[in-house]
């Protein structure tokens, strides 16, 4: 049995396991809404950090109740202070009460205070998580289908992927990158479960190098702000190129850079940041907020907007026909 046959069998098995867990589907209005929380930088080890965490928890509850998303996704650097596991549990207990499916990808700072295995073990105890473990008992790279509103056929897909943390090569400084195995997994998964190229969104923490080049190319449309230089890995292993080649992913959403919240279109893929969702726990010059993304069944595109802490909605936009445009109303 060759390597790719083994990989394909693993994908099919993993996909069948996912199918028996939390199920996602378009609503009767044929929409599916995702709330992206990122870079919350939570901790509970001082009066100040507990105050900031309380504000962050209140924002999460307030915006989720207001927007009523079908899925919550946390895109890394969620808990970066001590006591880490207790802070994770406090957050997850509050999410659990909301009774909405949720998924987590880790950032470069999350494993600094608790191991990836410890974090995964805790997350996987919650009934509404869409996460699954890998062979190392960490959070696996996964794809989750979104079923049609009539529950007959999968019409869209959500990828959650670990962009890793720091360079594993001593001579190469900076942040981590997607490995060749992860790129192989994505390509073979896309072929196996989505031959019809239904739209997919991918969530991870560290931006591709293409985020920088896409923003710098003045021909590309962009919505939002770049208030700091993006911090991708210094090595480009080709995950963006793989997504362009496969033709299923229409948007990627990351965190990592707190003062960036833009979406820019390049090669038919919307490269997007969430809005910094924490409080005054680390550098941040934008108002705290949450990005919302809404897919519509049988349409190859999405709407997105940012809800700031005070309820103000900014940067309402639409991605359709390989292009993005600002819109005045949702």
- Residue recorded with tokens 């943390």: 165
Cα dist from 74 to 116, 228, 275, whole Å: 15, 21, 11
Is residue 86 a part of any domain in this protein?
Answer: no
Q: In 3D, which of 327, 262, 305 has the Cα closest to residue 63?
A: 305
Is residue 240 assigned to a domain?
yes
Q: What is the per-residue pLDDT for 22? A: 86
Task: Answer whether residue 10 is part of any domain.
Answer: yes
pLDDT at 40 over 90: yes
Residue 2: pLDDT band with limits 50, 70, 90 = low
User: Residue 198 sits in which domain range?
Assistant: 3-71+141-326
Q: Is there a domain that residue 312 lies in? A: yes
Helices 180-193 and 239-246 sit at what angle, rounded to 10 degrees? 10
Round to whole Å and give the CA distance between 201 and 158: 5
Polymer length in residues for the chain:
330
In a domain, 135, yes or no: no
* pLDDT tops 80 at residue 31: yes
- Let me know if residue 78 belongs to a domain: no
Q: Among residues 179, 141, 135, 110, which one has the least CA distance to residue 15?
A: 141
Q: Is the dihedral of CA 89, 94, 95, 98 positive or negative?
A: positive
Strand partners, 160: 142, 203
Residue 170 lies in a domain: yes
pLDDT in tens, 234-263: 999 999 999 999 999 999 999 999 999 999
Residue 251 is part of a domain; what is its CATH number?
3.60.21.10
More confident call, 260 vs 17: 260
Which DSSP category does 123 fall into?
Answer: H
Number of domains in the chain: 1
Per-residue confidence (pLDDT) for residue 283, from 0 to 100: 72
Q: What is the pLDDT of residues 134-183, one digit of tens each?
A: 999 999 999 999 999 999 999 999 999 999 999 999 999 999 999 999 99
What's the mean pLDDT in 8-26? 59
Instruction: With a cut of 60, say whether residue 3 has pLDDT above it.
Output: no
SS3 content of the chain, % helix, strand, coil (to 5): 30, 30, 45
Q: Let me know if residue 255 belongs to a domain.
A: yes
Percentage of residues of the chain with pLDDT beyond 70: 93
If you compute the radius of gyration of the chain from its CA atoms, what whole number of angstroms results?
Answer: 18
């Amino acid at each position: 049995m060759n390597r790719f046959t083994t990989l394909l069998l693993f994908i099919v098995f993993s996909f069948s396991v996912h199918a028996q867990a939390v199920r996602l589907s378009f609503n009767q209005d044929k929409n599916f809404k995702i709330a992206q929380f990122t870079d919350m930088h939570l901790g509970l080890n001082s009066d100040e950090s507990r105050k900031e965490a309380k504000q962050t928890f209140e924002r999460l509850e307030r915006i989720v109740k207001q927007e009523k998303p079908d899925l919550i996704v946390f895109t890394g650097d969620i808990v970066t202070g001590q006591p880490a596991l207790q802070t994770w549990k406090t957050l997850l207990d509050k999410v659990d009460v909301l009774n909405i499916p949720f998924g987590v990808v880790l950032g470069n700072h999350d494993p600094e205070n608790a191991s990836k295995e410890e974090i995964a073990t805790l997350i996987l105890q919650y009934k509404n998580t869409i996460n699954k473990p890998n062979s190392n008992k960490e959070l696996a790279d996964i794809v989750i289908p979104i079923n049609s509103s009539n529950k007959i056929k999968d019409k869209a897909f959500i990828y959650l992927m670990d962009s890793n943390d720091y360079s594993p090569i001593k001579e190469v400084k900076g942040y981590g990158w997607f490995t060749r195995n992860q790129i192989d997994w994505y390509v073979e998964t896309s072929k196996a479960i989505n031959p019809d190229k239904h739209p997919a969104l991918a969530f991870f923490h560290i931006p591709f190098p293409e985020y920088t080049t896409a923003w710098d190319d003045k021909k590309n449309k962009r919505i939002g702000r770049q208030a700091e230089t993006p911090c991708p890995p210094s090595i480009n292993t080709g995950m963006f190129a793989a997504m362009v080649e496969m033709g299923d992913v229409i948007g990627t959403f990351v965190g990592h850079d707190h003062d960036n919240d833009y979406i820019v279109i390049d090669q038919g893929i919307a490269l997007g940041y969430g809005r910094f969702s924490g409080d005054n726990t680390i550098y941040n010059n934008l108002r705290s907020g949450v990005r919302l993304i809404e897919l519509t069944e049988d349409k190859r595109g999405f709407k997105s907007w940012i809800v700031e802490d005070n309820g103000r909605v900014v940067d309402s936009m639409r991605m359709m026909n390989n292009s993005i445009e600002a819109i005045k109303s949702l």
